[in-house]
């Protein structure tokens, strides 16, 4: 899916986390080598916390915008978030959701153009005067 949709704007961002059963104990090099063994070509970031006081700001933001039936905390690895071209979180999927099942939702977001910068700024309560 990454290869098929990359030209349309899909970006997959992976954030390894060792907060769930110590499933990511390896170094960054170990994690990348493991992913490469499966042909992964998407971006893999440094290992980070997704819950608790040391949660990465990306996950603080995502969780503040989208919770699931059990609340906002991330319950296990492989939780997936879809974010539109403007950086607005649109959907959250639980770990068991097969990534390929997300394709229709991903394609629907890719079909929508990004809003002009002024519209994006206005929707975030910012104005051109703040630039």
What does DSSP say about strands 13-14 and 80-83: parallel, antiparallel, or unpaired?
Answer: unpaired
Given a cut of 50, whether residue 84 has pLDDT beyond it is: yes
Q: Tens digits of per-residue pLDDT, 21-67? A: 888 888 989 999 999 999 998 999 999 999 999 999 999 999 999 88
Q: Pairing between strand 43-44 and 13-14?
A: parallel
* CATH label of the domain that carries residue 49: 3.40.30.10
Query: Within 10 Å of residue 72's Cβ, how many Cβ atoms?
Result: 15
Q: Residues with Cβ < 8 Å from 61, sequence gap 6 or more?
A: 89
Residue 8 has pLDDT above 80, yes or no: yes
Give the number of domains in the chain. Answer: 1
Distance between start and end Cα atoms, the chain: 37
**Quick one: pLDDT at residue 130?**
35
102 DSSP assignment: G
Mean pLDDT (the chain) is: 86
Give the structural domain span for 18.
2-130
Is residue 119 over pLDDT 60?
no
Q: What is the pTM of this model?
A: 0.81
């Amino acid at each position: 899916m990454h290869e098929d949709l990359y030209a349309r704007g899909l970006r997959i961002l992976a954030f390894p986390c060792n907060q769930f059963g110590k499933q990511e104990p390896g170094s960054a090099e170990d994690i990348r080598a493991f992913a490469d063994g499966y042909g992964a070509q998407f971006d893999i970031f440094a290992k980070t916390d997704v819950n608790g006081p040391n949660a990465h700001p990306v996950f603080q933001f995502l969780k503040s915008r989208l919770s699931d039936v059990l609340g906002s905390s991330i319950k296990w690895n492989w939780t997936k978030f879809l974010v539109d071209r403007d950086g607005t979180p649109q959907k959250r999927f639980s770990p068991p959701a097969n990534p390929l099942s997300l394709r229709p939702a991903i394609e629907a977001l890719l079909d929508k153009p990004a809003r002009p910068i002024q519209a994006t700024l206005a929707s975030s309560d910012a104005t051109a005067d703040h630039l």
